Amino acid sequence: MASTARAQNKQSTRDEEHLSVAHDEANALISTVAACETTGTPHQFQDAGDSLGSGMFGAVLRVKCRVCGKCFARKDVTPDQTNDDVKLKKSLDQIDQELNFLRHLHHPHIIAYVHHKRPKRQVDAYQIFTEYCELGDISALIKVKAEYSDKFIWNVCEAIASALAQCHQGLRSIRVGSEESYVGIDAHWAPIIHRDVKPANVFLSSLLPGLSKDEAAAMAIKCIDGVVVKLGDFGAACRLKEGTLHTTMTGTQAYWPPEVKEEALSSGRVTGWSSATDICSLAATLYSLLTFHLPNEKIGEVPISARIAQLKDELPDGRTEASEVLLKLICDCLDRQPARRPIALTLLAVSLKAGSSDGNLRRSESFWTTLAKDSHQAHRQMISQTVRDFSGQYLPLLHATFTSKEICAIMSLTATYSKQSLKTTANRLTEKPKTVFHAAAELTPTDKEFANLVWEVTQWPSSPALEGLVIRSDKDGLYPSQIAAERGSRPICKMLSKIDSARSQRGTAHTRGSHVES
């Protein structure tokens, strides 16, 4: 027995050493340098006395930097306390994983990592410092049944869809000042699943200093620029890797999708985590914003038309602004079958076009340009799904204006992934008498890469499905070739004229002065 005890003690010591080395290595990978933006000197945090909330993974407090005077949020995470080495290691790994996610997910709509502190003893609380969102989370708005418009719900949808598009698909976004744009998709991205999307983890932050909380909250509800929606709390998140099985029962059960609830009930564990689980949880969050309560658990089992009718019936009295496209998007995301739910890229594409501001137009243009220029084979399936779902399911319901560059990008993507819907998409992207060819003609000589995509790579302007459109004049009486000539795009002018000439020779075009319907 003595020898057995000595062996166990040796093994326990080796396990502790292994844990210590593993977490020292993880600590080296995560930068703990935290400097004030204004002074460049390290932050000196002190408690500000406010509790911001608590959950299964720890408590969150507001702290203040003595150097710069800014407030931050500090999350105290306590590892497993059951004296079980396996459980301790698992909880420490989860803390390391949350730290790494926060450190590497640089995104305008994800809570920003600032700093962290590891305790001297592994069983004590770890401290994670992030930016502080002074307006709190949107669960408070639901509790008080605040009055807000469709536009606010679209803002929430766009922001969280954008955050999930980075987590799930690796879509990169940057913010410079008040301008946000999309700049690429990571080539070898391993999806991150949040697993706890809910109103309490969707935060509001003000970009404007000096505002009171009430003033900033009113701005958020009225959708005035200066308030940003952010996704936070990655304590339940995991990274999906081939061959890795995640069996944790985590997150908030009220926002679990049906497949997670059923598996947990039948087997006592959950292995079915996927990006589709986050999408369903986001839909439940948006549903709560619309109706002030969660959707019926069986709503995903009925046809989409019945789902939309049910949602309409549950809208509060006096609320008439909910658009058909918003209702459909939410109800599609609640589908019982995970594979039938739209992906984050599709949600983002629709949300971007639901707004009509100049900022929306620029963000949407950068989004579609990013997708059109992406050439990675591994991305083809998700881009194809985005293009087909956007054009087929949501474009008919959108009353949106598209820039010429957006039109050219979407047409190039449609020619690549959904050629059979080329003509239908072309008609939906423009208002008569303008055509998609006018958009192609408006590309400037500096848009060489984009012109090459349109005229050389996808060659959609030469598609027989679009015959007749090219010779129509716009409201100013200008034909596409004339617009190209006026802009100094001689190569594009020649190509448009060549298409006109070829079609005329085949007898498929009318004379120049005639009005041709598509």
Task: Write the CATH number for 119.
Answer: 3.30.200.20
In the prediction, which pLDDT does 513 show? 42
In the prediction, which pLDDT does 245 show? 55
Region 173-184: what's the mean pLDDT?
88
Question: pTM value?
Answer: 0.86
Does residue 301 form part of some domain? no
Whether residue 75 is annotated as binding a ligand: the answer is yes
Predicted confidence band of residue 5 (pLDDT cuts 50, 70, 90) = very low
DSSP state of 40: -
The Cα-based distances of 274 to 86, 90, 176 in angstroms read 25, 20, 32
Region 237-266: what's the mean pLDDT?
80
Does residue 124 form part of some domain? yes
Contact 493, 481 (CB under 8 A): yes
Q: What's the half-sphere exposure (Cβ side, CA atoms, 13 Å) at 515?
A: 6
Contact 238, 165 (CB under 8 A): no
Which of residues 111, 131, 151 is at a domain's end?
A: 131
Tell me which range, 78-92, 333-347, 450-464, is most confidently predicted by mean pLDDT.
333-347
Domain count for the chain, please give it. 2
The H or E element that residue 439 is part of is helix 436-441
In the prediction, which pLDDT does 21 show? 40
Euclidean distance between CA atoms 263 and 175, whole angstroms:
40
Torsions phi, psi of 153, nearest 5?
-65, -40
Euclidean distance between CA atoms 235 and 346, whole angstroms:
26
DSSP state of 403: -
Instruction: List beta partners, residue 227.
Output: 206
Which of residues 109, 131, 153 is at a domain's end?
A: 131
In the prediction, which pLDDT does 223 show? 61
Does residue 173 form part of some domain? no
Which of residues 96, 131, 166 is at a domain's end?
A: 131
Angle of helix 344-354 versus helix 324-333 axis, rounded to 10: 170
pLDDT digits (tens, 9 = 90+) for 406-439: 999 999 999 999 999 999 999 999 988 888 999 9
pLDDT digits (tens, 9 = 90+) for 378-407: 999 999 999 999 999 999 999 899 999 999
Ranking 29-43, 83-97, 450-464 by mean pLDDT, the lowest is: 29-43
Contact 195, 277 (CB under 8 A): yes
Does residue 113 form part of some domain? yes
> Has residue 84 got a pLDDT over 80?
no
DSSP string for 42-60: BP-EEEEEEEEEEETTEEE
Euclidean distance between CA atoms 407 and 81, whole angstroms:
57
> Has residue 516 got a pLDDT over 50?
no
Does residue 20 form part of some domain? yes
Q: Which two tokens stand for residue 310?
A: 């049910």
Does residue 253 form part of some domain? no
Does residue 372 form part of some domain? no
Phi-psi label, residue 251: left if phi above 0, alpha if psi -120 to 50, beta otherwise:
left
Q: Which domain holds residue 113?
A: 13-131
Contact 344, 275 (CB under 8 A): yes
Euclidean distance between CA atoms 464 and 172, whole angstroms:
36
pLDDT digits (tens, 9 = 90+) for 291-308: 999 998 888 888 999 999
Predicted confidence band of residue 32 (pLDDT cuts 50, 70, 90) = very low
Average pLDDT, the chain: 83
In the prediction, which pLDDT does 38 show? 60
Three-state secondary structure string covering 155-185 = HHHHHHHHHHHHHHHCEEEEEECCEEEEEEE
In the prediction, which pLDDT does 277 show? 95
Region 496-511: what's the mean pLDDT?
65
Q: Which two tokens stand for residue 402?
A: 């598209």
With a pLDDT cut of 70, the percent of the chain lying above it is 82
Region 447-472: what's the mean pLDDT?
85
Contact 199, 142 (CB under 8 A): yes
Q: Which two tokens stand for residue 46?
A: 């002190």
Euclidean distance between CA atoms 76 and 268, whole angstroms:
28
In the prediction, which pLDDT does 101 show? 93
With a pLDDT cut of 90, the percent of the chain lying above it is 41
With the CA atoms of 413, 415, 421 and 425 taken in that order, what torsion angle do they form, in degrees rounded to the nearest 10? Answer: 60
The Cα-based distances of 264 to 90, 256, 298 in angstroms read 20, 10, 17
Does residue 25 form part of some domain? yes
